[in-house]
Amino acid sequence: MTVTLDRLARPLCDLRISVTDRCNMRCPYCMPREVFGPGHRFLADEAMCSFEEIARLCRLFAELGVQKVRITGGEPLLRRDIERLVAMIRTVPGIDDVALTTNGMLLAAKAPALRDAGLSRVTVSLDALEEEVFREMGDTRQAPGRVLAGIDAALDAGLSPVKVNMVVRRGVNDSCVVAMAEHFRHRPEILRFIEYMDVGATNGWRPAEVVPVAEIMRTIAERWPLEPLEPNAPGEVAARYRYRDGAGEVGFISSVSQPFCGGCTRARLAADGALFTCLFASRGEDLLGPLRAGASDDQLRERLAAVWGARADRYSAIRAEALPPGGPKIEMSYIGG
């Protein structure tokens, strides 16, 4: 296996694969309904990478150093037979961890098949337990109970550890932080609080709506004291803490207030085969075109290595320094979270 470094000496270790740009929710911070409504044109089936094409690219990425793959969307469980892709990726030499991020709406029905296919673990998005707030955050008629049922099904299937991600938005769900922490204390899931990010160009992001991790931590620690834990692996984005009373682990992702660009080892493959080297990128490198035109493994591998080798992305750090971040950004629903 080759270790492939970018211009800032960051290795290529992780690959996030978006398998669809569709979703069954319309979270305003990701897919606002006024943009992604009935008239929005999503990718046609033939414009998306097939499972065989994804598996081939995974093999080439693994030869350049990738060891972990995360399947994302859109909502990845909307992609038919997604468990078949999981099984295909699990057979790729060098890939030792296959995870999936989901909104949990379809997880209860899919969890056993995903486990049988070899999925290592799952991350579930859940922004509130209160129905009214949950529906506002997700612009959905569904209730959080459906997500909680998916989490329980994932635990029953052995997809552990289950991580639960809560995006905290001031004035919308910041009052729910303590209730979320209380619910997941003494449970096996790991709750993680995420600062509201300026991903894409349609969510109307404003800095005033960001609740810094330091404030979230204070809110929790005032009730249940915390102590830090060591990272599980280099490049881990969540700061790990545990409750001093033994009630479990909690995480904090501070990509706005305390950027972690310096340790980012992630490449992102969009559903249409475009390769992105940053969540906040403005353009990607087409891989599906050359692949379908008959490019050899050597040619594709060289292309991947060249794109990563030229990488110097550090958007969050630049944003934090109040420097101009550049052009328009790709929507998170297209590139994956």
Strands 190-195 and 226-228: unpaired
- Please say whether the dihedral angle defined by the alpha carbons of residues 14, 17, 21 and 25, taken in this order, is positive or negative: negative
Task: Convert the pLDDT of each residue in 156-201 to its tens digit.
Answer: 999 989 999 999 999 999 999 999 999 999 999 999 999 998 877 7
Residue pLDDT, tens place only, 267-298: 999 999 999 999 888 889 999 999 999 999 99
| Alpha-helical runs (H) found in 92-184 | 107-117, 131-138, 144-157, 177-184
Across 41-65, average pLDDT: 97
Q: What is the pLDDT at residue 162?
A: 98
pLDDT of residue 314: 83
Give all domains of the chain, ordered by start, each with its CATH number: 14-335 (3.20.20.70)
Compute the distance between CA of residue 273 and CA of residue 283 in angstroms, rounded to an integer. Answer: 12
Distance separating alpha carbons of residues 287 and 306, to the nearest angstrom: 12
- Between CA 258 and CA 214 the distance in angstroms is 10
Among candidates 124, 75, 64, which has minimal Cα distance to 300? 64
Backbone phi, psi, residue 250, to 5°: -140, 150
Are 127 and 167 a contacting pair, CB within 8 Å? yes
Say yes or no to pLDDT of 14 above 60: yes
Structure tokens at 241: 């803490």
- Above 50 in pLDDT, residue 323? no
Q: Give the 3-state secondary structure of residue 116.
A: helix
CB within 8 A of 26, min separation 6: which ones?
32, 33, 36, 138, 139, 140
Per-residue pLDDT of 74-128, as tens digits, reads 999 999 999 999 999 999 999 999 999 999 999 999 999 999 999 999 999 999 9
Look at residue 320 in the predicted model and tell me its pLDDT.
61
What contacts 155, CB < 8 A, 6 or more positions away? 162, 188, 189
Dist. CA 319–CA 325, nearest whole Å: 6
Residues found in the chain: 337
Q: How far apart are CA 231 and CA 249, in angstroms?
A: 12
* Pairwise CA distance, residues 155 & 162, whole Å: 7
Q: How many CB atoms neighbour CB 51 within 10 A?
A: 18
